């Protein structure tokens, strides 16, 4: 996936951060880019609708038990989906370069919030994993915010450093220092899976941006043993790894067994809407981490493949938008957002199918959760802003000329 993305994005690497292309070039916005933007909006809308239906189906029993209302998850998911779509429409109208100008502020804010979480945990104010910050219902997962902070600031720095991007001291070390700071703070929450994915997104952006491949390989070769030691330092992570590698059914975790049973129950076309047998009594977090299992059980192999096809379409549309972005900053931001959302979807689906060890990664736009859905909607809105930038710039500059020639 990453290699194909790099091939599609391997375009002009000239270094202006905010380019001012000619009106003539912008007026002829490519047809493929326009189709990609509209298709992405349709795909995201369909995914959100699937999310509302599946979250209600999989979470009604849990909501009845915990909140005394079977519709609790339904209305929250529906509300956040509507807010998310409105956010997409609003951000689409913005100039995406605002995130270039504010990327440093966003990065420092994310590092500050991650540090605050660890301080609160050390002080005993937070027990267990320190991942959420806020008050009452107004809470969000800081690692999701940090992921976008890395995408914005890396896109800015890689764009600014294009003329010396392969330089070790002036380019690679500053990028690596920023990335490892955020990754370390997220890993110490502890949230090893999200920290690993943020690191992967950062390395992919550096690779696409033209960083010396030998520097990347040397760093990865050093980080893999460190990550392995960190992974086996916690008993629950060791249990997950042993469960995944076990060839004996008795050694496989309860969640994985119930997930595979659920996918098997679905057959080719599924049991039908609301007919999942695993969702309430057997499968924990069926409305969140294992929501794809409910998709497979209720809609069968056909429904599961349809969801995978939607995310594949999202990935292709995102790459087209990145390829035709008007400047390097837009190209790297579009690449980062597209890869991040698709990568999280791939990990969630792979866990549900027992292709990789169990980890707590939600399925974008479908899993229950408000802040993750809103942040991903922000990402889609930025993709739409990048996609429509050429057309807006052309209209803005051509319209006065048309008025002048019309004699008005």
Sorted by where each begins, the domain ranges of the chain are 2-401
pLDDT of residue 385: 94
How many Å apart are CA 236 and CA 358, to the nearest integer?
A: 11
pLDDT of residue 121: 87
Under-70 pLDDT residues of the chain = 1-32, 128, 135-138, 245-253, 280-281, 285, 392-408
Cα 233 to chain centroid distance, Å, stands at: 27
Give 216-230 pLDDT, tens digit per residue. Answer: 999 999 999 998 888
Q: Estimate the crossing angle of helix 103-122 against helix 142-160, to 10 degrees.
A: 140
Q: What is the pTM of this model?
A: 0.88
């Amino acid at each position: 996936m990453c290699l194909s993305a790099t091939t599609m994005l391997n375009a002009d690497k000239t270094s202006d951060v905010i380019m001012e292309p000619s009106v003539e070039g912008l007026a002829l916005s490519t047809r493929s880019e326009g189709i990609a933007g509209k298709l992405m909006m349709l795909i995201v809308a369909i995914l959100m609708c699937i999310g509302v239906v599946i979250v209600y189906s999989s979470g009604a029993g849990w909501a009845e038990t915990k909140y005394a209302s079977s519709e609790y998850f339904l209305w929250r998911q529906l509300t956040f989906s509507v807010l998310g779509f409105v956010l997409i429409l609003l951000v689409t109208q913005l100039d995406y370069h605002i995130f270039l100008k504010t990327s440093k502020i966003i990065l420092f804010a994310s590092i500050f919030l991650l540090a605050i979480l660890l301080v609160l945990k050390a002080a005993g104010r937070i027990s267990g994993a320190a991942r959420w910050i806020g008050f009452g219902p107004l809470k969000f997962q800081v690692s999701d915010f940090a992921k976008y902070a890395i995408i914005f600031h890396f896109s800015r720095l890689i764009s600014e450093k294009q003329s010396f991007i392969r330089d070790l001291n002036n380019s690679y070390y500053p990028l690596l220092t920023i990335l490892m700071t955020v990754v370390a703070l997220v890993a110490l929450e502890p949230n090893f899976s999200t920290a690993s994915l943020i690191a992967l997104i950062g390395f992919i952006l550096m690779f696409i941006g033209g960083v010396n491949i030998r520097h990347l390989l040397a760093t990865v070769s050093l980080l893999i043993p460190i990550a392995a030691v960190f992974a086996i330092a916690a008993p629950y992570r060791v249990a997950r790894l042993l469960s995944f590698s076990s060839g004996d059914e008795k050694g496989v975790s309860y969640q994985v067994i119930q997930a595979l049973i659920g996918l098997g129950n679905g057959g080719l076309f599924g049991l039908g809407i609301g007919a999942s047998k695993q969702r309430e009594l057997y499968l924990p977090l069926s409305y969140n981490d294992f929501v794809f299992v409910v998709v497979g059980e209720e809609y069968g192999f056909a429904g599961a493949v349809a969801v995978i096809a939607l995310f594949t379409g999202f990935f292709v549309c995102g790459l087209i938008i990145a390829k035709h972005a008007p400047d390097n900053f837009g190209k790297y931001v579009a690449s980062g957002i597209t890869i991040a959302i698709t990568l999280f979807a791939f990990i969630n689906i792979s866990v549900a199918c027992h292709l990789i060890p169990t980890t707590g990664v939600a399925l974008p736009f479908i899993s229950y959760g408000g802040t993750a859905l809103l942040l991903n909607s922000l990402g889609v809105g930025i993709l739409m802003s990048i996609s429509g930038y050429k057309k807006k710039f052309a209209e803005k500059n051509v319209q006065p000329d048309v008025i002048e020639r019309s004699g008005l």
